[in-house]
């Protein structure tokens, strides 16, 4: 009997020792356990859960120890047949290493998460179906009520009691070569690449991640900081800061996110800055203005389909605007902007090589002509990355905008223009300047305009009224030391049909009037045109020099043709009168200008000059043979005819006071007669 007990004891002890050795081996040694043979039932379970086919093409391995490692290779989640891409997800490698001892305290400590070569294809169909929703999570009202009766949300004190700051720890997070593709209903592909990502989340410290990769074809760098788990558990909030460097632009988002209300409302501080706004052209496929050294800051409040921008601040150069914006997403994006500025410097918004109305540069036009000669397949490829202008109908059709800007001061260089107001709208593709009002010293600038860019012509209008604008402001923009000046008036009233802003004049009907009393502008050699030629040649230039008094043009506009009712330039010695037409529809200029001495002069030429050509290539020349012969006859006969003219003809005032004060506008267009002009 003793022998039997001794044998049983030894057997039990041997078994116990084997178990201990096994436990020790499993605990302290990493022993790989290949579960690949069980992948078929695992695939079936996952497929039923996701309601989409799941395949494991390679292996499932678990390595035992106090820090077991779960390794999965070759995972695929397939799409259903209605989507174009075969796979929704394909994964080369995922490895997760856990720490077992914290699990005994109901804590999850992850030593490492490593994911390599993960491809995700997100696809949306025209009927609204998407491939990233696998199974409906909606419950009937009765089910939801029953669940609410059975379960109640834990209170904040319960959370504090049960959870601690080290409840979830991730000591090392690594993602390599992650690609996310989004295919829109229009079959357009957007591509996001995460080349490298490293992260860490330790007890009582914020979670930090830094990443780099490609968005479309643009490299980016990203770093993300999320508040520690302790802060989240104690306050049910999570501080977040995200910094992105993309297309030479810096984006910053930070805020204290209330997780209980995050699905209803999210508030963030946002800032965007860059050295030149047009660095975003290729990313957004828009032709943006080359605005330098700009910055935008705002407190962004996001609700369902609505974004409120509070404390909005826009800065570029020496200009700044502050205010609010309301953005609502529906069939269109509705935007309401209310801005106020202590000072707007017009130089910050004037760009020599870019046009607000989207006119093509000459170089681009030349490129287009060259492309016309290319084979069809090359032209198709060249147009894939076409950038749209800001006033392109395709862009305008997506927006409804209301803009209200109040400026305490408007400057052009060192010149102060005064206060300004701008009210503009974009509604159903129609762009309208409802009110542009600048109170300049001693005068005003008023403008209204309306046009609907598109392929089909629609009603358009342009109304401009400028009183006593100092023309020297424009001259000093290109030549700051210039002394030339004078007050200019402009009165335009055009009704038109147009497909773009630049067609308003081409199809316009109405009038286009201007006048200017100019200072410090020497008439110079112009006077040699019609004064006593011999006296002018032998006399001192200073003695004979005169100045331009004014220029006046009252043009009637009919179907894009400008015909002068009155057009003249007045100097202290001559009056130059013009006749003809400017045809904006056909891009032609055909004008004849004729000088008249203010007092009859001996031996003056006074030969009419003809101006012909396109608006881009204007040529000057004397009239035909008849004009030249007539000039020669008058020149030779002047010793006889001039004394007679001086006796019977009243001289034109030297200062042009008889004509320079012509009133502009719609009245008396055919009744005004200017002495010296036909």
Q: Three-class SS string for 652-671?
A: CCCCCCCCCCCCCCCCCCCC
Tokens of 397: 């059709």
Quick one: pLDDT at residue 601?
56
> How do residues 504-514 score in pLDDT, each as one tens digit?
989 999 999 99
Q: Is the pLDDT of residue 343 over 80?
A: yes
Q: What was the pLDDT predicted at 605?
A: 53
Mean pLDDT over 427-452 rounds to: 92
For the record, the structure tokens of 144 come out as: 């939801």
Alpha-carbon distance of 358 to 348, in angstroms, equals 18
**pLDDT tens profile 199-232:** 998 887 888 999 999 988 899 999 999 887 666 6
Mean pLDDT, rounded, for 151-169: 55
Q: How confident is the model at residue 663 (pLDDT cuts 50, 70, 90)?
A: confident
Over residues 550-568, the mean pLDDT reads 92
**So what's the pLDDT on residue 137?**
45
The pLDDT of residue 377 is above 90: no
| Residue 198: band (very low, low, confident or very high) from pLDDT cuts 50, 70, 90 | very high
Please state the rounded mean pLDDT for residues 633-660. 60
Q: If residue 43 lies in a helix (H) or strand (E), which one and from where to where?
A: helix 39-50
Residue 528 DSSP label: G
| Maximum Cα interatomic distance, the chain, rounded to a whole number of Å | 166
Question: Of the ranges 249-258, 356-365, 568-577, 661-670, which one carries the lowest mean pLDDT score?
Answer: 356-365
- Phi and psi (nearest 5°) for 533? -60, -45
- Whether 304 has a pLDDT exceeding 70, the answer reads yes
**What pLDDT is attached to residue 662?**
84
CA distances from 315 to 244, 276, 344, 397, 436 (A): 20, 12, 10, 28, 21
CB 497 within 8 A of CB 457: yes
Please report, in angstroms and rounded to a whole number, the separation of the first and last CA atoms in the chain.
148
Question: What pLDDT does 350 receive?
Answer: 81
Query: 106: pLDDT confidence band, cut at 50, 70 and 90?
Result: confident
pLDDT at 265 (0 to 100): 79
pLDDT digits (tens, 9 = 90+) for 18-36: 666 655 655 556 678 888 9
Candidate from 134-138, 230-234, 325-329, 554-558 with smallest mean pLDDT: 134-138
Rounded to whole angstroms, the Cα distance separating 360 from 353 reads 10
Whether the predicted pLDDT of 141 surpasses 60: no
Mean pLDDT for 366-395 is 59
pLDDT digits (tens, 9 = 90+) for 174-192: 999 999 999 888 777 888 9
Q: What is the mean pLDDT of residues 580-589?
A: 90
Structure tokens at 357: 């109305």
Three-state SS string across 232-252, please?
HHHHCEEEEEEEEEECCEEEE
pLDDT recorded at residue 13: 64
Distance of alpha carbon 336 from alpha carbon 330, whole angstroms: 14
Confidence of residue 637 (pLDDT cuts 50, 70, 90): very low
pLDDT at 230: 66
- Model pLDDT, residue 536: 45
Count the helix, strand and coil residues of the chain and give each as a percent rounded to the nearest 5.
25, 50, 30
**Tokens linked to 512:** 């286009």
């Amino acid at each position: 009997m003793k022998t039997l007990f001794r044998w049983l004891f030894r057997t039990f002890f041997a078994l116990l020792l084997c178990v201990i050795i096994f436990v020790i081996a499993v605990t302290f040694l990493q022993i790989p356990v290949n579960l690949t043979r069980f992948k078929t039932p695992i695939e079936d379970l996952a497929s039923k859960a996701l309601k989409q086919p799941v395949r494991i093409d390679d292996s499932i391995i678990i390595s035992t120890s106090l820090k077991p490692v779960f390794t999965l290779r070759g995972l695929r989640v397939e799409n259903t047949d209605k989507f174009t891409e075969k796979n929704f997800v394909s994964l080369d490698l995922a490895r997760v290493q856990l720490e077992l001892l914290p699990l005994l305290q109901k804590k999850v400590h992850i030593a490492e998460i490593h994911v390599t070569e993960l491809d995700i294809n997100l696809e949306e169909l025209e009927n609204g179906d998407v491939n990233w929703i696998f199974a409906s999570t909606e419950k009937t009202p009765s089910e939801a009520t029953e669940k609410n009766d059975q379960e109640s949300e834990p209170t904040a004190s319960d959370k504090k009691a049960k959870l601690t700051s080290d409840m979830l720890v991730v000591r090392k997070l690594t993602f390599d070569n992650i690609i996310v593709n989004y295919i829109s209903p229009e079959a357009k592909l957007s591509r996001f690449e995460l080349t490298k990502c490293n992260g860490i989340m330790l007890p009582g410290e914020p979670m930090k991640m830094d990443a780099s990769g490609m968005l479309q074809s643009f490299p980016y760098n990203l770093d993300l900081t999320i508040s520690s788990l302790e802060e989240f558990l104690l306050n049910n909030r999570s501080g977040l800061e995200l910094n992105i460097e993309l297309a030479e632009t810096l984006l910053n988002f930070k805020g204290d996110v209330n997780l209980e209300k995050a699905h209803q409302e999210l508030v963030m501080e946002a800032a965007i800055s860059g050295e030149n706004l047009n660095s975003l052209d290729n990313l957004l496929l828009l032709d943006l203005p080359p605005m330098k050294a700009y910055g935008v800051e705002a407190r962004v409040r996001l609700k369902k389909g609505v974004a409120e921008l509070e404390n909005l601040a826009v800065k570029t150069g020496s200009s700044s605007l502050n205010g609010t914006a309301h953005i609502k997403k529906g069939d269109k994006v509705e935007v309401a902007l209310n801005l106020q500025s202590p000072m707007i410097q017009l130089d910050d918004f004037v760009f020599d090589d870019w046009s607000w109305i989207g006119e093509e540069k000459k170089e681009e036009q030349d490129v287009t002509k060259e492309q016309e000669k290319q084979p069809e397949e090359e032209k198709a490829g060249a147009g894939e990355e076409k950038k749209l202008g800001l006033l392109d109908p395709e862009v305008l059709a997506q927006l409804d905008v209301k803009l209200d800007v109040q400026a305490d001061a408007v400057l052009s260089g060192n010149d102060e223009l005064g206060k300004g107001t701008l009210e503009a709208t974009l509604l159903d593709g129609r762009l309208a300047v409802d009110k542009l009002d600048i109170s300049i010293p001693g005068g005003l600038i008023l403008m209204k305009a309306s046009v609907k860019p598109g392929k089909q012509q629609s009603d358009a209008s342009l109304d401009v009224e400028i009183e006593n604008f100092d023309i020297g402001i424009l001259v000093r923009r290109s030549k700051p030391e210039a002394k030339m000046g004078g007050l200019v008036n402009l009165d335009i009233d055009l009704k038109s049909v147009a497909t773009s802003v630049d067609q308003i004049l081409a199809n316009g009907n109405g009038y286009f009037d201007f006048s200017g009393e100019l200072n410090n502008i020497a008439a110079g050699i112009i006077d040699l045109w019609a004064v006593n030629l011999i006296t002018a040649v032998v006399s001192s230039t200073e003695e004979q020099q005169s100045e331009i008094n004014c220029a006046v043009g009252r043009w009637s506009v009919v179907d894009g043709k400008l015909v002068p009712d009155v057009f003249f330039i007045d100097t202290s010695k001559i009056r130059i009168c013009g006749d003809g037409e400017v045809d904006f529809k056909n891009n032609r200029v055909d004008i004849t200008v004729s000088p008249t001495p203010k007092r009859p002069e001996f031996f003056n030429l006074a030969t009419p000059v003809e101006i012909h050509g396109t608006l881009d290539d204007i040529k000057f020349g004397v009239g035909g043979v008849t004009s030249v012969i007539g000039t020669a006859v008058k020149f030779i006969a002047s010793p006889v005819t001039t004394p007679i003219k001086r006796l019977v003809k009243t001289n034109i005032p030297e200062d042009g006071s008889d004509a320079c004060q012509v009133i502009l506008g719609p009245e008396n267009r055919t009744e005004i007669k200017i002495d010296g002009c036909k």
